[in-house]
Chain A
Amino acid sequence: MGQILSGYYIYMFSLLLVFIALATILHLQFGVTGIANFGLSIFWGFGMYAFALLVLKLNIPFVLAVILATVLTGIIALVLGRFILNLDSQSVLVATLAFLVIIEVLITQEKWLTNGVMGIGPIPFPFDFGVYTKFVYFLIILLFTVALMLYAGKLHSAPYGRLLLSIQDNEPLAQSLGKPTFRQKIIFFTFTCALAGFFGAMAAPVYNFLFPKYLGAEVTFTLWIALILGSRKRLFGGLVGVLVTVGLFDVLLETVVPIPEQNAVILYNAKYFLYGLTLVLVLMFRPSGILGDKKRSINIRNTSKLEKKEG
């Protein structure tokens, strides 16, 4: 039992949870508020690396390091958001993409700080329960992921959520009604990116060793395809999408179905080929994703009275 709990499966499931959390964050940013953030993996990765550096180089205790990493990520998001969030959707997408590349290059370059492609680590867990350590940590991640989804769910029916949706639907209209859309976008963007950083920090011990590729375009892209595939407007879109993509490819195919060594590269290329193909096909033929579009009903009280009147 102990072996299973601390083995490869726990590693995969923990990461799966983190990806689900990230996809849900992306859902909040793009599906709800309409911010096409192509650099989400940067904030996640930044949180991860910041946490690692705080713990390894400055010897800061775990909890404090997580908090600091989250805050730092939020600051980066604030600066970037302030700069680009009043641009139109295409520009935001492209600007965040550029940001992604910048940070990717920086992290690989600044070897004195991040060790480049050699990786930084090993990153210890905050506690030690022997063979059950990883499992307990997995439960903690599960807790936070569930909390995030609960928050997102609440957001859908709350007035604040409707404000965000209105920003996506018709921002000039919202503005004309007096809503400070730019400010709201910045606040929400900062908050959700900070959350991404939080999950990055939490993911660090699971990975144990950090490499620049964790922030790369491939991670962002995987998240995007997961979200679009799963339905960007639905709360569980991220979850479904991640299970179908990462769950299928990284968990199922690589663990349950053993792939011989020589075919590993082919699998890698085939994976992203299929991801791209799926993205193209979904956007062309079923843009609302697997779960479809969200049905938004107007909440009229005393509908029965209305019906009686009309009948």
Chain B
Amino acid sequence: MPFLDFLKSTLVIGLLESAPLMLAAVGFTLIFCLNGFINIAYAENLTIGAYLAVTFNAMLGWNYYLSIIPASLLAGVVSVLTYLLVFRPAMKRGVGKTEMIILSVGLSFVLRFGINLIYGSELFNFNISKTYYLSFFGMGITSTQLICLGLALIIALGFYLFMYKTNYGQIMRALSDNENLAMVSGINPIKVSILVWFLAGVAGGLAGIFTGVFTWVHSSIGWNVILVILLVAIIGRVGSVRGALIAGASIGIITTAVTLVTQPAYGEIALLIIFIIFLKFRKAEV
């Protein structure tokens, strides 16, 4: 297709499609920022969010948009539970950073296959009552998907505002920078940690719910993208929610560009190669 069209589609589609990713990256960054380790089990936040939404929507018959609320809130609760029951005790026992990653992979398997045991291995779909089919910049898309992407974008921006413009956001960032100093200033680390994990869980859950609109809901939807989320977090200079947003958008655009030219799989591979390269250039050497 002519170059200008290509550019236009890439930018718009890339930006929209990356909205859930940006949300997930924000949540992931919050945890990494606060606790300093890579939580691979975060992938399951997305998956759990999506499955919870399916439970409310397809199984209990709620309206799709309505189900988003309890599903995401519950996802936040689950996230807090993983913190209180697994990660916090582990950190207290002095589990090292690398072992924490392995631990989180283990937890990820527990959650993912636990979901399989509870829900079965079938694929689920959302039950959306009324949806219109539109053509958006040459791409077939439903009105629901468009709304979801829009919501994701708005919520992502909301997180940004929260982190940078409010008191609580400032407290959270202070805590992540220097826990001792924050404590001395009268900030309760446990309460703030719980809040952070809750928000991260909600963000992840929402990301999962919004992703589930585009494809089937299955237990690997989180696992499939966790590396990309990690990539976005790393590129966005871990610790910066702002960075995560920008990186997320760029990644979405790049992926779309590569996918439009070749196949989706190559897009994924390109991302992962970028990922390894970025690891090399951002981390301090041993």
Mark A residues whose CB is within 8 Å of B: 36, 83-84, 86-91, 93-95, 97-99, 101-102, 105-106, 108-109, 171-172, 181, 221, 224-225, 228, 265-266, 269-270, 272-273, 275-280, 283-284, 287
Write out the residue numbers on chain B whose beta carbons fall within 8 Å of the beta carbon of A99.
272, 276
| Contact flags B266-277 to A (C-beta < 8 A → 1, else 0) | 101100110110
B108 CB contacts on chain A under 8 angstroms: 276
User: Is B241 positioned at the interface, with any CB of A under 8 Å from its CB?
Assistant: no
Given contacts A88-B284, A225-B106, A283-B90, contact A97 B279 (CB under 8 A): no
| A218: nearest chain-B partner, CB-CB | B109
Name A87's contact: one of B37, B90, B285 (CB within 8 Å): B285
Q: What is the CA–CA distance of A171 and B285 in the complex, to the nearest angstrom?
A: 11
7 contacts between A and B (CB under 8 A): A86-B286, A93-B102, A94-B101, A98-B279, A280-B107, A283-B106, A287-B95
Min Cβ gap A278→B in Å is 8
Contact in complex: B265, A280 (CB < 8 Å)? no
Tell me the smallest distance from the CB of A171 to a CB of chain B, in Å: 5
What is the CB-to-nearest-CB distance from A304 to chain B, in angstroms, rounded to a whole number? Answer: 38
B272-A83 in contact (CB<8A): no
User: Using Cβ atoms and an 8 Å threshold, which residues of chain A touch B227?
Assistant: 94, 97-98, 101
B272, chain A: closest CB distance, angstroms: 5
| Chain B, range 218-262, C-beta contacts under 8 Å to A | 227, 230
Residue on B nearest A224 in the bound complex, by CB: B102
Query: Are B276 and A89 neighbours in the complex by a CB distance under 8 Å?
Result: no
Inter-chain contacts of B97 with A (CB < 8 A): 89-90
Given contacts A95-B279, A283-B90, A273 and B98 within 8 Å (CB-CB): no
Q: Is the interface of A mostly helix, strand, loop or mixed?
A: helix
Is A36 within 8 A of B98, CB to CB? Answer: yes
- Give the complex CA separation of A167 and B121 in angstroms: 44
Q: Is the CB of B268 within 8 A of A275?
A: no
Residues from chain A with a CB closer than 8 A to the CB of B285 are: 86-88
Min CB gap A233→B, angstroms: 13
- Judge whether A276 and B279 touch: CB under 8 Å: no
Q: How far is the CB of A253 from chain B (nearest CB, A)?
A: 16
Query: Contacts A221-B109, A269-B117; is A283 near B280 (CB within 8 Å)?
Result: no
Given A36-B98, A88-B286, A105-B265: A279 and B280 within 8 A (CB)? no
Residues 94-119 of B at the A interface (beta carbon under 8 Å)? 95, 97-99, 101-103, 105-114, 116-117
Min Cβ gap A42→B in Å is 13
Specify which chain B residues have a CB less than 8 angstroms from the CB of A90 in the assembled complex: 37-38, 97-98, 101
Interface residues of B (CB under 8 A from A): 37-38, 86, 89-90, 93, 95, 97-99, 101-103, 105-114, 116-117, 121, 227, 230, 263, 265-266, 268-269, 272-273, 275-276, 279-280, 283-286
Q: Does the CB pair A287–B99 fall under 8 Å?
A: yes
In the complex the two chains form, is B113's CB within 8 Å of A102's CB? Answer: no
Query: Contact: A270 with B279, CB < 8 Å?
Result: no
- Tell me if B286 and A87 are in contact (CB < 8 A): yes
> Contact: B109 with A106, CB < 8 Å?
no
Q: Is the interface of B mostly helix, strand, loop or mixed?
A: helix
Most A CB contacts (10 A, CB to CB) among B97, B108, B263, B275 go to B275
| CB pair A101 B110 closer than 8 Å | no
Among the listed B90, B272, B273, B280, which residue makes an inter-chain contact with A284, where contact means beta carbons less than 8 Å apart? B90
- The listed residue with most B CB atoms (<10 A of its CB), out of A98, A224, A270, A272, is A98
> A237 vs B112: C-alpha distance in the bound complex, in angstroms?
27
In the complex formed, the residue of B with least CB distance to A277 is: B110
Residues of B within 8 A of A171 (CB): 286
Query: Given the complex, which residues of B lie within 8 Å of A91, measured CB to CB?
Result: 279, 283
State how many angstroms separate the Cβ of A94 from the closest Cβ of chain B. Answer: 6
A244 to B283, CA, bound (A): 37
CA distance A84 to B97 in the complex (A): 18
Q: Return chain A residues, CB-CB under 8 Å to B110.
A: 273, 276-277, 280
A273 touches B286 (CB 8 A): no
Instruction: Name the A residues within 8 Å of B99 (CB-CB).
Output: 283, 287
Contact across chains for A88 and B283 when beta carbons are under 8 A apart: yes
- B272–A102 touching, CB < 8 Å: yes
Contacts of B268 in A (CB 8 A): 101, 105
> Taking the nearest CB of chain B, how far is it from the CB of A21, in angstroms?
21
State A287–B230 Cα separation when bound (angstroms). 26
The answer to whether B90 touches A272 (Cβ under 8 A) is no
- Which residues of chain A are within 8 angstroms of B90 by Cβ–Cβ distance? 283-284
Given known pairs A228-B102, A273-B114, the reply for A84 and B280 (CB within 8 Å) is yes
In the assembly, what is the distance between CA of A221 and CA of B112, in Å?
Answer: 14
Instruction: Give the CA-CA distance A3 to B86 in the complex, in Å.
Output: 49
Contacts of A287 in B (CB 8 A): 95, 99
Which residues of B are found within 8 Å of A275, using beta-carbon distances? Answer: 106, 109
